[in-house]
Structure 1
Amino acid sequence: MKRNLVISTLVLCVGFMLSGCKIYSFTGANFDPNIKSISVAYISNDAEGAPATVGDLLTEALKQKMLTTNIPLQDGNGDLHFRGEIISYRYSIQAPAAGQTSEQKRITMSISITSENRINPEENWTKTFTRFIDFPANEDLNVVEERLINALNTLIVEDVFNKSFVKW
């Protein structure tokens, strides 16, 4: 009997500790309970030389990541609204050592994202996120570019998510 009372009390205390003003997840993210919806506008491709599909792929990746929050995603005017543009997309060859050819190529992508919190406007922000990915120089860019873009999108979307919800 006494053991059941101790366990019940412990469970109750843990429940109170986990509840509060914000909703926390085991990823370190915290979600404002007043945010009832998220919207993601199309991320435009304003970067010279970027493939035409890069904006579509990045927008979809960001939407998929926001679905992991368990906050409903809607088409527009969410309590938390994301919009942005791809501002730079560069393809470069990494500097070779003297007398050698380069063994690495690099794609670098920069995006400007604005997060508009319509519930708590003081949490609005705009930030540029830049990520790159290297790949072997002997790989044909036309063959690997979509895979590399998806890898870049994963990195950038994680940065946007962390800026929005993991405020360490």
Structure 2
Amino acid sequence: MKPFIKILFLCMLSSALIFAEGCGFFKHYDFKGSNIPEDIGTFTVDFFGNEASLVNPQLSMNFTEKMKTKFQTESRLGMQGFGGDYQFSGAITEYRIYPASLNTDVGTSQNQFSIKVRCEFNCAKYPEKNFTREFSFFKIFDANQSFESLESQLSTEIIDQIVQQIFAAVALDW
């Protein structure tokens, strides 16, 4: 009797998936959770320049490449050099380190490292989705550690978070 129940369950599950597909349930959603219209097939990421007062020479390149990689790997969109259905441009506007907490005995006990990015998103097919917005993230680190020893790791973690925020704003409508 158990094999019959398993077969019946699999048949019902298959029928439900076929029905959902036929009704267009999967039309705008994929299994990665993105909400990108079917007629959007490409994206372009322009170079994000660095307008911050403190400049890390590799940050612009790293950020731009992370944006490209995120949309290539987590959406069905293909990348184009220019003129994509989704177009991203912008700049890094803040790259800053400042005290996060003070200790009366020794002064600063923790520092905060923050990065802020201005992102301009344009979609010619759906101009109501266009935006210019600032995205930011920060990490706190022990003031006794040298920033130079942590900079690469922290900036990578912050960039990942900002790119995720942009992806969510565009592909997940958040």
Alignment TM-score, normalising by the size of structure 1: 0.88
- Provide the C-alpha distance between the structure 2 equivalents of 1:59 and 1:142, rounded to a whole number of angstroms: 22
In the alignment, what sits opposite 1:109? Answer: 115
In the alignment, structure 1 residue 39 sits paired with structure 2 residue 44: yes
Could you tell me which amino acid in structure 1 is paired with residue 135 of structure 2? F
Q: Which letter maps to 2:141?
A: F
Task: Map 1:16-165; keep pairs closer than 5 Å.
Answer: 16-17=22-23, 19=25, 21-22=27-28, 24-67=29-72, 68-165=74-171
Structure 1 unmatched ranges of 5 or more: none
Report the alpha carbon displacement of residue 18 of structure 1 after superposing the two structures with TM: 5.2
Paired residues of 2:103 and 2:109 also in contact (CA < 8 A): no
> 1:124 Cα deviation (Å)?
0.7
Q: What letter matches 2:111 in structure 1? A: K
Residues 92-132 of structure 1: CA distance to partner in whole angstroms, max 9, x if unpaired?
A: 12231333433211111111100000211121111011211
State the distance in 1 between where 2:160 and 2:9 align. 48
CA RMSD of aligned residues (A): 2.3
Which of the numbers 166, 169, 172 marks the counterpart of 1:166? Answer: 172
1:138 partner amino acid: N
Q: Secondary structure at the match of 1:86?
A: strand
CA offsets per residue over residues 39-97 of structure 1, 9 Å max, x none?
10000001011211111111011111011212101111101000010111111122313
Unmatched segments (≥5 aa) in structure 2: 1-7
Taking the aligned partners of 1:3 and 1:29, their CA distance within structure 2 comes to 28
Q: CA deviation at 1:135?
A: 1.3
Distance 2:117 2:16 in 1: 47
Distance 2:100 2:16 in 1: 57
| Alpha-carbon distance in structure 2 between the residues aligned to 1:96 and 1:3 | 61
1:9 deviates by 3.7
CA distance in 1, matches of 2:159, 2:121: 17
Q: Residues 29, 96 of structure 1: CA spacing in aligned structure 2 closer, same or farther, 3 A cutoff?
A: same
For 1:5 and 1:95, the matched residues in 2 are separated by: 60
Shift of the alpha carbon at 1:19?
3.7
Shift of 1:25: 2.9
Could you tell me how far apart the structure 1 residues matched to 2:14 and 2:93 are? 55
